Structure 1
Amino acid sequence: RDEIRIGDLAQNPDTGNLELREYLPGDSYPDNPYRVDPDRGHGDPRLRPWYIKAKQAGRPLWSDAYIFLGTGDNPNVPGVTYATPFYHEDGSFMGVMTADIDLLSLCGYFNEMRRSRDEQAVPQGPTSAVAFVMDGTKDSHVIAFHDIEQIMRKNPDDPSSWELIPGEELTETGLKGFYENVIEGDVQIPDEGPTEIDYTISGIAYTGLFQKLRGADMPNWLIGVTIEENEYMGRIHAILRETFLWGFLCLAAGIVVSVFVSRRISQPLQMLSMEAQAIGVGKLDEVEERRFPIREVDSLFRAKEEMKKGLRSFEKFVPRELVRELLASGREAELGGERAYLTVAFADIVNFTSISELMPPEEVVKMLSRFHGILYQSISETHGTIDKYIGDAVMSFWGAPVENPDHAFGACLAALHAQARLAEERKRIKDSSAPPIHCRIGINTGDLVVGNMGIPDRLSYTVIGDSVNLASRLEGLNRYYGTDIIVSENTYRAVSDRLIARKLDRVYVKGKTQGVFVYQLIGEKGKVEEKTLRDLQRYEEALEKYLDRSWEDSIRILEELQKGHPNDKSILLLLSRCCKFMEEAPD
């Protein structure tokens, strides 16, 4: 507000000279000027080109860049004028009203932008890229540049005044080459869209990108940027060349507008822009509560936070990776699926029905929350996706929606971690009334269909197929063999170089004509005791004897193992089967 002043030039009745009188907005115009400057009244504005042209044209127009009349504080200010003629009611000419735009602030903005860019360029050194605004006429001047001394000088005919340097006398290499090739050259300057130009001056190759200032009655200005080819070609691939120059053009094109926008508006809008980009890639973290003095900006900020709350709630019902993928792609979720080779796991609580019947509903919910929390931690840290909660059971899969070629290992590792955490949980609640939680897990790897299933108005991101059914049946087999983790042969083959498993049996499942081997997952290689490894090897020897119908040899090995593992149901099961077949061999 303090910088807004009203000025007029009027003839002093005593001296007959024009004098500049200035007023503050609150003063009584024209009787109470706060300053009178008789020394600055020598420039009659009616002789200025903008006054004459506006009067002749009879319409608003932009002037060429020139040195303002100024004041005693700052008499040498480059700028442009938007002049509008106005008339009496009878149509006779009254005068010209102007809006003067100071170009020093625009030059300062260019300088700050270049200084910031040079600081970021360390250790590469200062950049050769320069942004500028140039008059597009043949009698061209540079209107705005980061170094004011490159475009403005003392008037040779009047050292007390200043003038803009003509285009043909420019000394800055990039600008001079641009002027010679574009303004004086044969380059066609389109009214719409940017234009790229390559040129060489003083043996240095440059690339420039420029565009006309668009809009009705806008001045004939070119907004552009030039840069040495060696600079950007040495730092980026050729495929990024256009992107690099477009970035500079976007910065330069936004300068003319942003110089005249209050920081009280631009800063919160920039913050909102960054938040919107973060939301676009799925970053929904809460930010510090803020209030903004501009009501519309404050409303935008509040609405953005409400949107993030809604998206965070949405992530609790569907896989987080799926939400982030949809946000990043900009696509709406659609019905459909695709074939994929993934790993699926089912897990549920042992004897859940019996346990829950003896507990109040509130305690059942707490127990399920502890169980689901442990599984969620183990699944998420191995990049798995929880498909759904089915009562006490949890269905999950690995390899989608984010591709993961090591999905089988991730699933197995999640199962081992979950069992380890459940064991720690049982120790923690040992002395409490809470029931201990034991879990059975089945894992299978195979071809299936993954995608959005359901109806167009109600979708569920899930997996379907025989491989899913097999994983569910493997989970149930744990009850039969007394194990806690059973994996399929496909899964074991994918992880056998890193994990230890016991070949448990060959089973026949519904929908399969051939038997499939199943494995009990034991642990990671290097973390399993030698005795356990020897017992696993002996069990697999007994299983091979059993499959070869060498019942006696198998019984002998199993009886030895039973002494050290009297409660191992898988040993007892295979032993009883061998004894039965000793009496009556199968077909």
Structure 2
Amino acid sequence: MTQAVRKRGGVSLTVTLATSISALLLVAVLSVLFIGLWSGAKNTRELLQQQASMILATTSDKVRTHLQPARNQVSLLGQLIAAGEVDPVRRDRLIDMFKGGLSAAPQLNSVLYFDHAYQGTGLARSDTGFTEILRDYSSDQKVKDNIGKALRDGRGSWGEPIWLPNIKKTLLNYRAPVIYPGGKTGLLVASVTVSELSSYLGNLDPGIGSNVFILHDQDKVLAHPNLAGLRGGNRNENDPLPSLAETGDPVLAAFWQPEKRFPLDIAAGSDLQGHVLGLFDDEYIFIYRDLPGYASKPWKVGTYFRSSEVDTEFRRLLWAALAGLITLLVALAGAVWLGRKIAQPVVDTALAASRIGQLDISDTPRLAGSAFRELNDQAIAFNTMLEGLKWFETYVPKKLVRRLISQDAEQFTTSVERDVTVMFTDIVGYSGLSEGIAAEQVAKLLNQHFGLLAGCIEAEDGTVDKFIGDSVMAFWGAPDHYADHADRAVRAAQAIERALDEDNKARITAGEQEIKIRIGLHSGPVTVGNIGAPGRVNYTIIGDNVNLAQRLEQLGKQFTTDPSLNRSVTTLLSAATADQLTSKHDLEDLGDQTVRGRNGKIRVYRL
């Protein structure tokens, strides 16, 4: 009896553990579910807003891209006329210029120039090609008033939308005054069609945020998917754009409806605006932003979607959360492992890309392959790019590129006059040195020689401009300003002589002929900047002072035959360079010398 009581007495450990674990799990699940639903609903709405924001940003960029050619054409033609490169009196010349602009930008409908006497010269697009416009507008008071207003504004601006009945299209025009030689003024006008914007909106992928629209002022619609492909309609010169009600979109037609209108909670700091509107037994969420710069009042780019669409997303989130709870523990361990596997190639790519950004291409490692196809494709593409860049960097002066990158782009893309010191080098007796040597050996010799010289030049912050045969051209004072550019050039020449002496010792030991060179140095103003064809430019210097440095190097031939001077380098420098030296150097005055290609003589020194 006692034993039986003992068996039935107390609390079952199995039941206790099952109950306790079940209770703890129930609390945990309910807590996770509540937090998941709350944060999920919040995140879903934020993601929907982000999606709408991305669509609006893309649409805004599309508008700017569509309209920018008008501004570009007016700006370019205005500069050419103002600079006197295009004579506005030559109407045939203007027509040719306009034809090129219209051909390059299909969204441009016409380009028109009005001179000071209201004579219009232009070119308009038509169904059969282009139509020339040669017309006297001096008796058209409306045109004269518009021209006068634009000229008084004194700057480029966008006009209000206009309707052209002959082509049944609404246009936007950009106009800017032009002052050409003689002080006379004119006006350039370029017009752009807006119908393509509706076509673009109509081609957006269906889904949340795809009901995009562009409003002009409060009640006029510049673009809407329902307007895509429409031509004309009931438009006229006084009413070039449809109203909200004329788009055939009853939701957009109620955009400004005050009834059942509630503000939308938008994240702080965002330029988005929004409201919720109760319509047709449903709620619609409108999100929009201003697009300024194209009219007296900002345009509005916006989108809308049903609130029920958000609820659908929320229900999907609930089911996903419930399913996720079942596999939470397993998925967590798998996610950690998988995340590391996926993230590591991305981290490696970022680190490698950072090295490339610093132009450390030669030391950038190849990326390892991945079991994931996209990441493996990324690694293959990156490694292919890396191999190409390694070849590319052999043709690009890496140190120069780093210095240019560190400066403002306009400082080196625009050619300027700069006071610099120029160096030219040349191997003495190169023809005899390379005679009888295989081409591969000649290339190896030059590469080693150029590497030695370039190292000495760049050590003094010089810019290696180019290699010409067996010669090197370099300069100091650009792109970086150096007040002591002459001293840097002289120190580089001295370093070259020391390096060449050491190299010659090794060559003699190896039974090879020693190398001697001539160096010419000259200081003075030159033109520095990007020089070349549109598809290929060099950051270089040009000018008579560049030529003089090369002439000094050639003059060195007269001073290398002195048997008492058994030196590997003969350096001649002009008085212009010597006068700019701020530190003491051992210079031999060679007197006034005649230099080929120069009138008169110049003072020359030997280092």
Q: Which TM bucket (shorter chain)?
A: 0.3 to 0.5
**Structure of greater relative contact order (alpha carbons < 8 Å, 6+ residues apart):** 2
Could you tell me the TM-score, scaled by structure 2's length? Answer: 0.43
Could you tell me the TM-score, scaled by structure 1's length? Answer: 0.45
- Radius of gyration: which is bigger? 1
